[in-house]
A and B are shown apart, each in its own frame.
Chain A
């Protein structure tokens, strides 16, 4: 019996690849397996090769696998493109309709199943996905009742007749392939899972749920890949809680509407990707200057310009840290897991209000869209902290305004909101005095700059760096951010097995940089490898800038649009560790 397996389905976009994956993985989740998904897709709706890969394991996993065990192919292109990934002895389940052939030299086993023919016989070729997933499920020898239950949930609202037809399609696909294979494939028999209930979601959904849990009741946003799922999740949920989502005319409207709503006292967020973030820059400065709380999610994708809109990249770091003209306080946090996406989102809203600053939640395409298992999220960890927001205020004297920008020891001023009688004040993006009135006075200017920029001096979020460093003096310390943590973990295990002392740190607070937290680990390591999905080593630059140690830092960069594979990190780390100090 095996403890993990990789399964992939490929076909033309719009052909049912997504739904096949969804039902297959929902059923696996029910059985309690840990899952990690990866979507390969293009910026078009119909046509073009697309594939979804799922890694199935009895142990927690947070990375895509190097190779593939089972490939389900709706067309020859899917075989040609993905067969090289198959491990020796892998299996291809393909639609007999296109007369599938394996590439020369491949030792995979091919099962040609009349996927389209069976679906059409049952009424519609749309049921191809059911035949295909039924066939894969049968090869794994997993209980069919659980699968049928998932089918019923997917199609239940369309009525029992539709459910029945789909169940039949699953059955026919299973029967056909089992006859060809002579029963379930023993080499793919998975050990039973722990059966523990897990959640199964994409990062964007975890952010959406975190947003609702944080008490955010408004979102203003403009559609963009790979952020739109956050908006789509919230429009389903917020109206039930009295709130709403506004789809604005552009990202400038999205962010300024969010600023207006935060000013008026409602936790409001927007979400976008690089192009939208670029459009928001001036407004981010307004939020910083006027000390309004603001939460923005940047789901990074391949840049610059339109770049690779459906591919993995981590190249907006500099834009998030340095973006907007002039100098403002700003927080950038980078969730490193699906659970982080939920808890960090809540924390982002708290920090935004406590410090009255813009907070950017940095994710990347793989974290935002990769569907994966998630430990049960804990209601008791939800905390709402609104900082110095004051609702009950004494009446003001005539011609006296509330000191919304009062100079205080920690730089954070009391905050009132429109509608509240004792809190009347003015807000302007022009330099202003303690009551919010424009002022060009030099002393005031300096005091206000110092006040704003000093607010974050002591900010350190929980687990600003996530540390897995079991050795006092590791030969190699690998540092990453965002979705890369699981891949680094796997590479590290292999390196340790080869006798190397290694450590791993995932940086979760990007700005202000957690310099003092990181420094001792850099000091102790012989070689530091900073792994990131960009071409200019943006994270490594931050580390060198704040902590130094430039002589021992090596860059492991990938910017071809694909996430790192564990094997790549393993090989590169072995190579880089040999070089030693420059």
Chain B
């Protein structure tokens, strides 16, 4: 069985020193080893942005696609070969701005993909513009007088869209993050894990210290008596904490994944099945048109 070291490669990430994305990379590597995967059984599909580079920094199959489209690509991979473990990953701009349409529909569709968002509340790779996750009043190069749009709450949207697994974590909490990614991989259906991943270069407001001060952690005292199977309680908790809550927020273990609801869909990956029609199968299909 592979260890987390076997999910490492020799590529040096182009992230800034201190970037929150480093621990997310490490958490994915650890979680993959902990659930017993071999590198070839994992496909990491990423979007565009600083965080989108992650698929190249993990020793597994990886596809770095186009901006905002990691989720449809990842769902295509999973439907083509459900024997694989598929992780989709990208930033808050990728998932909640340009790709928001796909995020909501991937949640509803519930294909068994784990989606890890590296949420730094800003556009980093383009050098500091506002994101849907930037707070009102947040000053950036594109909002010199402060953002005048309201901040988007991905957890509330995910709950409304019928998510079956919602978690949130913080890149300083490697232990919690690793455990949540493991749980997300094991979950039957789509799992959304939003991770606060501070941008040390362009975001001087939502810093490591700021998160430490403001986060409510359900794995601590704040989580006592919290029932993650209660959707209403989850919504209340998210709203009460202004979205600054970490841990497993909500999980529905009853709803089957998309793959398990497709009629006739087999356990064996489609990619491993024979594709040639027999003469008999073909003649039967052709008979529709006689």
Q: Is A263's CB under 8 angstroms from B60's CB?
A: no
Q: List 6 A-B contacts (CB under 8 A).
A: A209-B285, A216-B275, A264-B80, A266-B81, A426-B61, A437-B56
B20 at the interface (CB under 8 A from A): no
Interface residues of A in 280-304 (CB under 8 A from B): 282-283, 285-286, 290
A462 at the interface (CB under 8 A from B): no
A239 at the interface (CB under 8 A from B): yes
- Residue picked from B45, B62, B77, most chain A C-beta under 10 Å: B77
Q: Is A399's CB under 8 angstroms from B9's CB?
A: yes
Minimum CB–CB distance from A422 to chain B (whole Å) comes to 8
Q: Which of A49-57, A59-67, A250-258, A553-561 touches B?
A: A250-258
Q: Is B76's CB under 8 angstroms from A399's CB?
A: no
Q: Is B80's CB under 8 angstroms from A261's CB?
A: yes
B222 at the interface (CB under 8 A from A): no
Cβ-neighbour of B66 out of A200, A201, A283, A418 (below 8 A): A283
A376 to B69, CA, bound (A): 41
Q: Is A260's CB under 8 angstroms from B61's CB?
A: no
A205 at the interface (CB under 8 A from B): yes
Known pairs A418-B43, A426-B64; list 4 more (Cβ under 8 Å): A209-B286, A220-B72, A253-B69, A263-B77
Task: Determine chain A's interface SS by DSSP, over half rule.
Answer: mixed
Which of chain A's residues has its CB closest to B71's CB? A253
A215/B80 contact (C-beta < 8 A), A286-B66, A421-B38 known = no
Q: Is A384's CB under 8 angstroms from B283's CB?
A: no
B1 at the interface (CB under 8 A from A): no
Which residues of chain B are near A290, meaning CB under 8 Å? 63
Q: Is A243's CB under 8 angstroms from B270's CB?
A: yes
Q: Is A242's CB under 8 angstroms from B65's CB?
A: no
Q: Which of B22-30, B192-200, B212-220, B257-265 touches A?
A: B257-265
Number of A-B contacts (CB under 8 A): 190
Q: Is A257's CB under 8 angstroms from B11's CB?
A: no
Which residues of chain A are near B276, meaning CB under 8 Å? 215, 382, 384
Interface residues of A in 408-464 (CB under 8 A from B): 417-421, 423-430, 437-438
Cβ-neighbour of A379 out of B76, B84, B282 (below 8 A): B282
Interface size on A, residues (CB 8 A): 69
A42 at the interface (CB under 8 A from B): no
A260/B81 contact (C-beta < 8 A), A265-B271, A419-B271, A424-B39 known = no
Minimum CB–CB distance from A350 to chain B (whole Å) comes to 12
Cβ-neighbour of B76 out of A256, A376, A423, A438 (below 8 A): A256
Cβ-neighbour of A257 out of B75, B101, B269, B282 (below 8 A): B75
Q: Is B64's CB under 8 angstroms from A260's CB?
A: no
Cβ-neighbour of B270 out of A212, A217, A285 (below 8 A): A217
A249/B101 contact (C-beta < 8 A), A258-B76, A261-B76 known = yes
Q: Is A246's CB under 8 angstroms from B64's CB?
A: no
Which of chain B's residues has its CB closest to A202's CB? B289
Q: Is B270's CB under 8 angstroms from A249's CB?
A: no
A256 to B88, CA, bound (A): 13
A379 to B287, CA, bound (A): 13
B279 at the interface (CB under 8 A from A): yes
Which residues of chain B are near A212, meaning CB under 8 Å? 277, 285
Which of chain B's residues has its CB closest to A285's CB? B66
A259 at the interface (CB under 8 A from B): yes
A321 at the interface (CB under 8 A from B): no
Minimum CB–CB distance from A65 to chain B (whole Å) comes to 23
Which of chain A's residues has its CB closest to B56's CB? A426
Q: Is B265's CB under 8 angstroms from A244's CB?
A: yes
A239 to B270, CA, bound (A): 11
A261/B79 contact (C-beta < 8 A), A242-B264, A242-B270, A429-B64 known = yes
A215 to B80, CA, bound (A): 13
Which of chain B's residues has its CB closest to A282's CB? B66
Which residues of chain A are near B101, meaning CB under 8 Å? 249-250, 253
Which residues of chain A are near B64, meaning CB under 8 Å? 426-430
Q: Is B69's CB under 8 angstroms from A252's CB?
A: yes
- Residue picked from A248, A266, A282, most chain B C-beta under 10 Å: A266
Interface residues of A in 198-221 (CB under 8 A from B): 198-201, 205, 209, 212-213, 215-218, 220
- Residue picked from B9, B56, B275, most chain A C-beta under 10 Å: B275
Which residues of chain B are near A258, meaning CB under 8 Å? 76
Interface residues of B in 60-118 (CB under 8 A from A): 60-66, 69, 71-77, 79-81, 83-84, 101-102, 104-105, 109
Q: Is A199's CB under 8 angstroms from B286's CB?
A: yes
Q: Is B266's CB under 8 angstroms from A263's CB?
A: no
Q: Is B290's CB under 8 angstroms from A199's CB?
A: yes
Which residues of chain A are near B62, meaning CB under 8 Å? 426-427
Q: Is B76's CB under 8 angstroms from A382's CB?
A: no
A424 to B63, CA, bound (A): 11
Q: Is B277's CB under 8 angstroms from A256's CB?
A: no
Which of chain A's residues has its CB closest to B277's CB? A213
A260/B72 contact (C-beta < 8 A), A197-B290, A423-B40 known = yes
A377 at the interface (CB under 8 A from B): yes
- Residue picked from B74, B101, B277, most chain A C-beta under 10 Å: B277
Cβ-neighbour of A249 out of B43, B76, B105 (below 8 A): B105
Cβ-neighbour of A239 out of B69, B264, B271, B275 (below 8 A): B264
A529 to B38, CA, bound (A): 61
A419/B277 contact (C-beta < 8 A), A243-B270, A248-B105, A426-B64 known = no
Closest 7 CB pairs of A and B: A260-B76, A215-B275, A265-B271, A264-B80, A260-B73, A261-B76, A257-B76
Minimum CB–CB distance from A251 to chain B (whole Å) comes to 10
A258 to B73, CA, bound (A): 7
Minimum CB–CB distance from B82 to chain A (whole Å) comes to 10
Which of chain B's residues has its CB closest to A438's CB? B56
B51 at the interface (CB under 8 A from A): no
- Residue picked from B101, B271, B285, most chain A C-beta under 10 Å: B271
A 76-101 to B, binary, CB cutoff 8 A, 1 in contact else 0: 00000000000000000000000000
Which residues of chain B are near A115, meaning CB under 8 Å? none
Interface residues of A in 28-84 (CB under 8 A from B): 29
A466 at the interface (CB under 8 A from B): no
Interface residues of A in 334-392 (CB under 8 A from B): 374, 376-377, 379, 382, 384
Cβ-neighbour of A428 out of B56, B84, B269 (below 8 A): B56
Q: Is B81's CB under 8 angstroms from A264's CB?
A: yes
A501 at the interface (CB under 8 A from B): no
Which of chain A's residues has its CB closest to B286's CB? A377
Q: Is A256's CB under 8 angstroms from B80's CB?
A: no
Q: Is B264's CB under 8 angstroms from A218's CB?
A: no
A285 to B69, CA, bound (A): 13
Q: Is B40's CB under 8 angstroms from A264's CB?
A: no
A268 at the interface (CB under 8 A from B): yes
B134 at the interface (CB under 8 A from A): no
Q: Is A424's CB under 8 angstroms from B59's CB?
A: yes
A552 at the interface (CB under 8 A from B): no
Q: Is B63's CB under 8 angstroms from A263's CB?
A: yes
Minimum CB–CB distance from B123 to chain A (whole Å) comes to 18
